[in-house]
């Protein structure tokens, strides 16, 4: 299709860029800011002249016809470009130095088209050859196209003063960075700002802590805010994800939906919730056996077709990345998800199950050491959160709404513990509100006040039980209160 065709280029614009530099050396940074590589010049003579100009600039020399000619002689390029008359012709092609930015833009755009043509030709040639590993071929093709599309689009080195001016302006106007996604949980957004583009956030927790419910709540809140979201549950089929969403929006018990025992009074809220969920920009891909490489392909295509602001993968342990051993496989999967965030410039949230070491501690409170293959995962993630529910470890308190989000690592922000309210029967999580839920159980003072729930008033302030009692007598039946979520709180 392309045999015998000349790739697109603009000889006049290329010459005008170089001529503008000869007339005014201050034009070189403008040209260099747009043209990231010498190969952006298609004409071989112009490419050699541009390299000579860059060398003169690095040496601190003035760039004019004499110094440029001497540099080309030194490099052995003067005869290759066609002699000294070529240098004289450059200034004739410049109408005004003021238009140099426009000329450079033309050169840059034509170079971008050529790079895409070359990438496509390489993909076609490899495709007609013997493709032994289709997955690797598709990954290489996607990488080639992405590289062709992004090479030359970088701004290059920017003086810090220029970046500072933009930052001060954003601070004055309160403008948030583009691509930042709010979690929709007020306390989380207050401490962390939300989910940041280009960064991988790990959400860890032991089974039953509610990490899947937490990441799905964040994803749904982002979709409610109009963000295009993609959810990849590696364990659950999309029908179960849909039931979780319906339980939240209809405010009905998830078990009733699972068992098909819906009360007649719940049908109106169920239909209302269904209409709301139907219009959400939320996609679910429950394809089994995915690797981080395949997820990257799915996400890249989805971004092209529908747009993509947030990707959530649940969870790391089910990804099928290759490796010499399990630790190496987990490391490759975590790094693969990190690269997806950087490549697509979106936030990526990766749920992760903690190892059993947390169960051997008295308080069962998670830390970075509890991550499976913690070194590899912690290194890949810029942000690490842990979901923790104390009530899970006490018989009769499994439905206690007390939930904590522990921000254990935040390379660009603060760490700390965030108080949350959860209803695991309806898969709904929000900020803890004092007026609505009562004071949060205080671990330091030894006092507790149970939250208001279903209109029930909180009990009187009383001493909290010893930690040994709370965490070591899970089999002991509840005694102190008929409302099980207040036991031992």
Residue 440 lies in a domain: no
Residue that finishes a domain, picked among 135, 150, 165: 150
Window from 29-38, 116-125, 415-424 with minimum mean pLDDT: 29-38
Reported as a pLDDT band with limits 50, 70 and 90, residue 170 is confident
Same domain, 115 and 249: no
Q: What share of the chain is helix, strand, coil (3-state, %, to 5)?
A: 50, 15, 35
Q: What is the pLDDT of residue 448?
A: 39
More confident residue, 419 or 446: 419
Spatial separation of the C-alpha atoms in residues 305 and 307, rounded to whole Å:
6
- List the CATH number of the domain containing 52: 1.10.860.10
Residue 443 lies in a domain: no
Same domain, 144 and 190: no
Residue 468 lies in a domain: no
Same domain, 60 and 203: no
Reported as a pLDDT band with limits 50, 70 and 90, residue 208 is confident
Residue that finishes a domain, picked among 411, 434, 457: 434
Residue 40 lies in a domain: yes
Residue 175 lies in a domain: no
| pLDDT tops 80 at residue 460 | no
Same domain, 216 and 102: no
Reported as a pLDDT band with limits 50, 70 and 90, residue 435 is confident
Same domain, 201 and 112: no
Residue 172 lies in a domain: no
Predicted TM-score of the model (pTM)? 0.63
Q: Which residue range forms the structural domain that includes residue 99?
A: 11-150
The mean per-residue pLDDT over the stretch 308-330 comes to: 86
Residue 489 lies in a domain: no
Q: Which residue matches tokens 């409302």? A: 483
Same domain, 96 and 213: no
Residue 380 lies in a domain: yes
Residue 303, class by beta-carbon neighbours within 10 Å (0-12 exposed, 13-18 middle, 19+ buried)?
middle
Query: How many structural domains comprise the chain?
Result: 2
Same domain, 251 and 127: no
Query: Quick one: tokens of 488?
Result: 């031992």
- The helix (H) or strand (E) run that includes residue 167 is helix 160-173
Same domain, 210 and 334: yes
Same domain, 135 and 201: no
Contact 56, 71 (CB under 8 A): yes
């Amino acid at each position: 299709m392309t045999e015998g065709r000349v790739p697109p280029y603009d000889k006049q614009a290329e010459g005008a860029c170089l001529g503008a530099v000869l007339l005014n050396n201050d034009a070189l940074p403008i040209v260099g800011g747009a043209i990231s590589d010498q190969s952006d010049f298609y004409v071989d003579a112009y490419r050699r002249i541009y390299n000579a100009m860059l060398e003169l600039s690095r040496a601190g020399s003035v760039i004019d016809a004499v110094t440029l000619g001497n540099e080309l002689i030194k490099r052995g390029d003067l005869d290759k470009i066609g002699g000294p008359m070529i240098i004289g012709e450059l200034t004739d092609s410049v109408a005004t130095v003021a238009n140099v930015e426009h000329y450079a833009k033309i050169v840059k755009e034509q170079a971008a088209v050529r790079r895409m043509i070359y990438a496509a030709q390489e993909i076609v040639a490899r495709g007609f050859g013997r493709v032994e590993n289709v997955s690797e071929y598709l990954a290489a093709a996607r990488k080639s196209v992405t590289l062709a599309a992004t090479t030359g689009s970088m701004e290059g080195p920017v003086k810090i003063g220029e970046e500072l001016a933009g930052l001060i302006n954003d601070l004055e106007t309160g403008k948030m960075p583009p691509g930042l996604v709010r979690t929709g949980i007020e306390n989380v957004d207050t401490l962390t700002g939300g989910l940041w583009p280009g960064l991988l956030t790990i959400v860890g927790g032991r089974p039953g802590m509610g990490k899947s419910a937490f990441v799905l709540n964040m994803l749904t809140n982002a979709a409610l805010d109009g963000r295009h979201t993609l959810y990849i549950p590696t364990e659950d089929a999309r029908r179960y994800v849909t039931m979780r969403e319906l339980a939240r929006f209809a405010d009905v018990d998830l078990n009733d939906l699972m068992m098909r025992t819906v009360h007649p009074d719940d049908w109106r809220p169920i239909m209302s919730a269904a209409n709301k969920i139907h219009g959400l920009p939320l996609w679910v891909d429950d394809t089994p056996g995915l690797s981080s490489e395949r997820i990257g392909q799915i996400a890249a295509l989805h971004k092209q077709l529908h747009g993509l602001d947030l990707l959530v993968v649940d969870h790391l342990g089910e990804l099928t990345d290759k490796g010499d051993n399990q630790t190496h496989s987990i490391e490759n999967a975590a790094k693969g998800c990190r690269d997806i965030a950087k490549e697509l410039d979106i936030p990526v949230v990766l749920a992760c199950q903690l190892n059993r070491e947390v169960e051997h501690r008295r308080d069962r409170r998670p830390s970075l050491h509890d991550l499976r293959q913690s070194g590899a995962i912690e290194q890949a993630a810029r942000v690490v959160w842990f979901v923790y529910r104390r009530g899970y470890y006490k018989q009769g308190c499994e439905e206690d709404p007390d939930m904590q989000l522990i921000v254990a690592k935040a390379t660009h922000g603060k760490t700390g513990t965030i108080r949350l309210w959860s209803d695991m029967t309806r898969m709904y999580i929000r900020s803890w509100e004092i007026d609505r839920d009562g004071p949060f159980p205080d671990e330091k003072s030894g006092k507790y006040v149970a939250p208001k729930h279903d209109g029930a008033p909180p009990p009187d302030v009383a001493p909290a039980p010893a930690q040994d009692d709370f965490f070591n007598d899970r089999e002991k039946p509840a005694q102190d209160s008929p409302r099980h979520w207040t036991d031992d709180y």
